[in-house]
Structure 1
Amino acid sequence: MSESKGGAGLITLNRRADFLAANNGRRAPMPGFVLLVRPRDDGSDAIRIGYTITKKIGGAVIRNRMKRRFRALAAELLPLEGVPGADHVLIGRAGGIERPFDDLRRELAKALAKIRR
């Protein structure tokens, strides 16, 4: 099985095809990241999440730190404010690692509200 269980009932995306499909969904660009959301229409209410941080952002230590921050944000906000039955992808931006965690939390809440509208 190519999907693993993330924190707080979230399923982590692993297949490249899922990431490419999410690229055709709605986008909410924020200073620290870009949020992509695409409804799956498969009858499941499960929220799936994926993370993308490119080497342009930095070395492995920086990318892993950013992924850990994204995982913590997703575990906190997606079960409450995420779109049920949709794939969510967080794409890291260059300024995201320096941003305070509270700013990222506010930006993710704002991005999710924008997507739900």
Structure 2
Amino acid sequence: MTPPVAPKAGSTAPADRAPRAVFSCADAGGGSSESAAAAPSAAQKPVVMTKRSDFLRASRGLRHAAPGFHFQARKRDESEPASGMRVGYTCSKKVGNAVARNRAKRRLREAARLVLPTHGRPGWDYVLVGKAGATAERDFVALQADLVAALKRVHRL
């Protein structure tokens, strides 16, 4: 057996344990340094909409029915602040109980977090509406592909 190593000055680790490796969430995804470099900056990160009036305005904009969710989008007017893109998430009680609705919204949030920085446009509002029996059960890669297709269709118009 090897003798214990003395801890470094200021370290709280016991002398008989090896230092622990630092593990971050970026490493969990199959981990390459490229994924950490591709993380969106604060300027590209969408702002979450919370006001009902913003959701209602977006519902009168462009719409797309994707297999995993309903998608609504609108370009903001010049009179509104167009500092970046905004996104909102909602699920009706048709999706299920609170647990099912929250699960569906978590999946929509993660898909938007991964897709919007590269495919979204500043000055636009996006609303993702969960679908009963589809949002929570759909394959996550397919859910992301649905969002990319919806964004391409909306911005092509």
TM-score using structure 2 length:
0.67
Instruction: Describe the superposition over 1:23-47 as per-residue Cα deviations: whole angstroms up to 9, x where unpaired.
Output: 1110111111111001112352411
Bigger helix share = 1
1:97 equivalent in alignment to 2:130: no
CA distance in 2, matches of 1:98, 1:70: 12
CA distance in 2, matches of 1:35, 1:84: 17
1:9 equivalent in alignment to 2:28: no
Q: CA deviation at 1:83?
A: 2.5
Q: Give 1:75-90 correspondences, 5 Å limit.
A: 75-90=113-128
Which is bigger in relative contact order (C-alpha 8 A, separation at least 6)?
Answer: 1
Unaligned 5+ runs, structure 1: 1-5
User: What percent identity do the matched residue pairs reach?
Assistant: 43
Which moved further from structure 2: 9-18 or 40-49? Answer: 40-49
Give the aligned length: 111
Consecutive aligned runs of 4 or more in structure 1 exceeding 4 Å deviation? none
CA distance in 1, matches of 2:92, 2:150: 21
CA distance in 2, matches of 1:106, 1:89: 16
Instruction: Select 2:54's aligned residue among 18, 25, 34.
Output: 18
Unaligned 5+ runs, structure 2: 1-41
Bigger strand share = 1
The Cα RMSD (Å) is 1.5
1:48 equivalent in alignment to 2:86: yes
TM-score using structure 1 length:
0.89
Of structures 1 and 2, the larger Rg is shown by: 2
